Amino acid sequence: MELGSILASGWASGINLYGTVFLLGLANRLDWASTPPALGETWVLVLSGLLYAVEFVVDKIPWIDSLWDAIHTAIRPIGGAIVGAVIARDIGEPEALSALLSGGFSLTAHSAKASTRAVVNLSPEPFTNIGLSVVEDGAVAGMVALAINEPQIAAVVAVVLAVLCIVVVWLLFRTVRRVLGRWRERRRGGPDVAAQRE
């Protein structure tokens, strides 16, 4: 694994920390790739596998998924930083810098996921939510596979996705702010109504 693996694993951790840890650990345990042995320990595999199973279900239930995301606002970036540090130790890279990079990439992915899910939950139908969850699971598996097999490509993809996540969060924030502004204006009667009253 290389530095690209740290960035890609960090980004994937922001979407699904437990799935990322489980896949990296499984790759080590089954000798699919040279991932950190610490992630292949039995207790890590069992715990991450169980938590991934819980998240797999919870992530597809509207509003419950947003509550789960809120709880994981600190957990995913910190977990992503730890994954980055573990990989860095294994490949001989600086652990503190790797943890910061991995945690930062994890934070961008988590922010985009949590923001998007909160907006999607405003829709009355659950199918968009389920579809997004399946796409996210696929993205995590793809990023972990890239991190293991093509670290240099994984680095480029992770940087592009991190930038896209920042753009998505910014656009959603602007949209929500605009909608809330209009809603408050309507509640107060709006400028037109106020003018008519005068």
Q: In sequence order, what DSSP letters do the residues of 14-60 get, joined into one string?
A: HHHHHHHHHHHHHHHHTTSS---GGGGSHHHHHHHHHHHHHHHHHTT
**Which one is predicted more confidently, 169 or 47?**
47
Model confidence over 100-121: pLDDT tens digits? 999 999 999 999 998 888 888 8
Report the greatest alpha carbon distance in the chain.
78
Task: State pTM to two decimals.
Answer: 0.84
Model confidence over 117-152: pLDDT tens digits? 888 887 777 677 788 889 999 999 999 999 999 999
Structural domain for 87, as ranges:
3-197
Reported confidence tier of residue 1, pLDDT bands at 50, 70, 90: low
Q: How many independent structural domains does the chain possess? A: 1
